[in-house]
Structure 1
C-alpha cells in the first residue's frame, strides 16, 4: 500500500465557469492573463472562439499542435498581439524577429548552443553555483526571497558562460531591474488587444522606457568594450557568444542593431526563464517531502562520487524530473501565439476536421496544455514521477512544451536543462529550503510565469561547503 500523502497542489487560478465580459477580459489580460481561461480550455482538445471580433483558435490537441508548429509551420507567423507586446523591448532579437532576419540570427547564434558546446559550460555553471551558494552559508532558518535569488544566480551563470563575465553593468540590483522591465514592458496593454498600431502610445508602458534605456546602454557598452578587445589583437578577446555575434557583423551577416537586439534578448530574457523555473522547483519541492528526500539522496550520492557536472543531468533523474514537473505546472513561456497566413485544414486521426481560416489567431498555451484533463492524471498536482525514465514514454512529445517546438524551439534548451540541474545539485546538497507562513506565491504571466508576492523560503544548512558528501 502506498502510504505517501496526496501530492501537493501548488497555487493556480481556478478555471472560469462563466465567460468574461469584454471589460473583464481587458482587466484580466492586463492584470494576469492566466486568470482568463475557462473550463473548456482545460477539458477540450480545441476551441474556436472570438476576442474583440477576432477569431481565435485555442489548441490543446498534441496532433494539431504538431501540425501547426512543425508539419505546416510555414503557414503560421507570429501573432500580431504578441509582437505588439515584445517587439518594443526586443525589436529584432531571436524571440521576435521573423523571415530573413530571424534566419540570420538563428544561424549566427546556433553554434554556441549545440549540445556538445553547451556541455562545455558545465564547469563554469558549477563554479558560479558554488560561488552563489556562499550567500546562504551559515543560514539557520534565515528567510530569503528565492525568486529574486534565482534571477541573480541565473544572470551570474549567463554572464560568465556567454559573455565571459564581461557584461558592463554597475547595478547591484539586476534582478529588480529585470522585474521592473517585465512588469511594465512585458505585459499586454489594452491597446494591444484592440490591435492599435505600434505608434499609438501604451500608457501602461511609459514607466518602462527608463529601465529599457538602461538595458540598451548596458548592451552598447558591453559591445563597445568587446570590440576594442577584438581590435587590439586576435588573442585578447574570449571566443564566447559575444565575440561570435560581433564576428557575424557585416553585409552577409547581422547588422549592429540586430546584434544589439540579440544580446538584449539573452541578457534580459535568456536567463529569466531558467530563473523562474528554478524558483518554482524549490518551492514545489519544499512542499513535497518524499520528493525532496529522493532528490537529496541522489544528489548526495552523485556528488560523493566526484562525477563531472556534465554528467549530472543523466545521473540525477529525480532532480531532473522535479525541474521538468515544475516547468509543467509553471511553464517559463506560458503561451505560444501564431497567426494563419492562408486558409488551412487539419484532420485528426479520428476524421475530425478543424478549419483554420486565414488571419485566425492561434493560441497554443503550455499553461492550459500542461494542466489539461485529457492529457494528465491529477493535472494540478506536483508529481515528478511522471518524468522519471520509466514513465517518460507515456508523455506525448507535443503535450509538454516548456521550450516550444518546431523551427522556433528554444535554442538554449540543452543549456538551460544542464544549468538547472547543476544549480539544484549544488544548492540542495548544501541547504534545505522550506516554506514559511508568509510564503504565498501566485503565478502571474508576464514574459514568463512569475511568482507574485515574492517567493520566500527558509534556508537551513545541511552540510558545510567543505564537505565532499
Structure 2
C-alpha cells in the first residue's frame, strides 16, 4: 500500500462549467483571465470557437502547437489584442517587435544569452543572492513574515541589474518592486476596448494613470543610457562589456535606432526579471506544502555547496532544485498565454486523420496555463509534483506540452539565464532559511503580464535548524 500523502494542489481557478455571456466574458477578462476557461480547455486537444464574432482556435495538442510555433511559424504573427496591450508599454522591444526590427534585435542580443555566455553570469548571481540574505538576517528560528512576491522581485532585479547592466541602472526610488507592480497593474491588463479591437488612439479607461508610471520607467532608461554613454566617451577601455554597452554600440544605420535601444532596455528592466521573480515566489510557496521534497532539496544543496562546486555547476548538479522550479513554472507559468494570428489559410492533420483548417485571420491561443494543467498530458495535473522533472522522468514530457519559455523562433532568449539564476537563488536562500506558509492565507493567481499572486504572497521566513 502506498502510504505517501496526496500531493499538494495549490490554489487556482476551477474550470468553468457554464458558458459565460459576452458581458461576463468582459468582466472576467478584466478581473482575471485565468478564471475564464471552461472544462474543454483542460480536456480537449483543440477547441474551435468564436470570441466576439472572431474565430478563435484554442490549441493544446503538442503536435499542433509545434505546427503553429515552429513548422509553419512564418504564417503566424502576433495577435492584435496582444499588441494592443503590450506595445503601449514596450513599443519595439524584443517581446513586441515584428519583422525586420525583431530580426535585427534578436540577432544583436543573441550572443549575450548563449548558454556558454550565460554561465559566465553565475558568479554575479551568487554574489547578489548572498548579499540579499541580509534581509532575513535577524529572523531567528521562530521566523517573521515577509511578502515573498515583493522580495523575489527585489532579488531578481538586483541580479539582472548586476549581470546585464553592471549595476548602472539609474533607479529613481527605493521601491522598485512597487513601481514594477504598479506598471503591470495599470498597463499590463486587458481593457474592454482591447476586446472590442478599438484602435490604439481610443482611450483605455483602465490604464488612466498608467502613463505617469510608464513615463517614470522611460526616464530611468534614458538616464541609464546617458550615464553609460558618458562613461563610454570618457574611457571605453574601462567600460563594462555588458548587455547595456552592447546595445548602445548598435546605434547606427546597420544596427538599431536609439528608440529601439531604449525600448529593449525598458523590456529587460521592466519585464526581464519579472517572470523569474514570480516563478521563484510560487515555487517557494508550493515547497512549503511539500516538506518531503523540500528536505531532498536541502540535502542536495548542502552536499553540492559543501563539495566546493562552483555556482556555474549548480544547474546540472542540483536536479531536485531545478525540478522544483520547473514544476513551479508548470503550475504558475510566468507567461500564461501565447497569442498568434494566421496570416494565410492553413491546415494540419493529426496522426488519427483529423484535419484542423485554419482560415486567414484566425486567432490562435496557445495557453501554457491550460496546457500545463491539461488532463490529456499530465498525471494529476493540478498537483505539485516536482519529481516529474527529475532526469529519470523528464523524457516523458513532450517538448511542446511544457512551454514556460515559449517555443520556436520567438522562444525566450533568456531561458538558460533564468534557469541558472533560479537554481542559484533558491540554493542560496534554502541553504540558510526555511520558507513556510502563513496560516489563514491562500494566495490567488491573477494574470497581468505574468501570473501574479493577487494580494501578495506572505510567508514566514525562519533560519534552518537542521
Do they fold alike, i.e. is TM over 0.5?
A: yes
Q: TM-score range by the shorter chain?
A: over 0.9
Question: What is the CA distance between 1:231 and its match in structure 2?
Answer: 1.0
Please list the CA deviations of residues 199-245 of structure 1 after superposition, one character each: whole Å capped at 9, or x if unmatched: 11101101111110000000000000100111112213110000000
Question: What is the CA distance between 1:3 and its match in structure 2?
Answer: 2.4
Question: What is the CA distance between 1:285 and its match in structure 2?
Answer: 0.1
Please list the CA deviations of residues 364-422 of structure 1 after superposition, one character each: whole Å capped at 9, or x if unmatched: 00000000000000000000010000001110000000000000000000000000000
Question: What is the CA distance between 1:39 and its match in structure 2?
Answer: 0.2
Contact map agreement 1:439 1:457 (CA 8 A) in 2: no
Among residues 207, 219, 228, which one is paired with 1:217 in the alignment? 219
2:129 paired residue number: 129
Contact map agreement 2:172 2:220 (CA 8 A) in 1: no
Equivalent residues in 2 for 1:134-145 (5 A)?
134-140=134-140, 141-145=143-147
Equivalent residues in 2 for 1:31-430 (5 A)?
31-140=31-140, 141-430=143-432
Contact map agreement 2:94 2:106 (CA 8 A) in 1: yes
Equivalents in 1 of 2:138, 2:235: separation in Å? 45
Is there any run of 5+ residues in structure 2 with no aligned partner, and where?
Answer: none
Equivalents in 2 of 1:408, 1:347: separation in Å? 24
Equivalents in 2 of 1:144, 1:287: separation in Å? 17
Please list the CA deviations of residues 338-386 of structure 1 after superposition, one character each: whole Å capped at 9, or x if unmatched: 0000000001111110000000000000000000000000000000010
Aligned residue for 1:77, secondary structure, equals: strand
TM-score by length of 2: 0.99
Aligned residue for 2:40, secondary structure, equals: helix
1:466 paired residue number: none
Is there any run of 5+ residues in structure 1 with no aligned partner, and where?
Answer: 464-468
Equivalents in 2 of 1:315, 1:93: separation in Å? 35
Question: What is the CA distance between 1:165 and its match in structure 2?
Answer: 0.2
Contact map agreement 2:156 2:276 (CA 8 A) in 1: yes
Contact map agreement 2:336 2:451 (CA 8 A) in 1: yes
TM-score by length of 1: 0.98
Please list the CA deviations of residues 143-186 of structure 1 after superposition, one character each: whole Å capped at 9, or x if unmatched: 00000000000000000000000000131100000000000100
Equivalents in 1 of 2:2, 2:108: separation in Å? 52
- Stretch moving more, 321-330 or 234-243: 234-243
Equivalents in 2 of 1:90, 1:353: separation in Å? 37
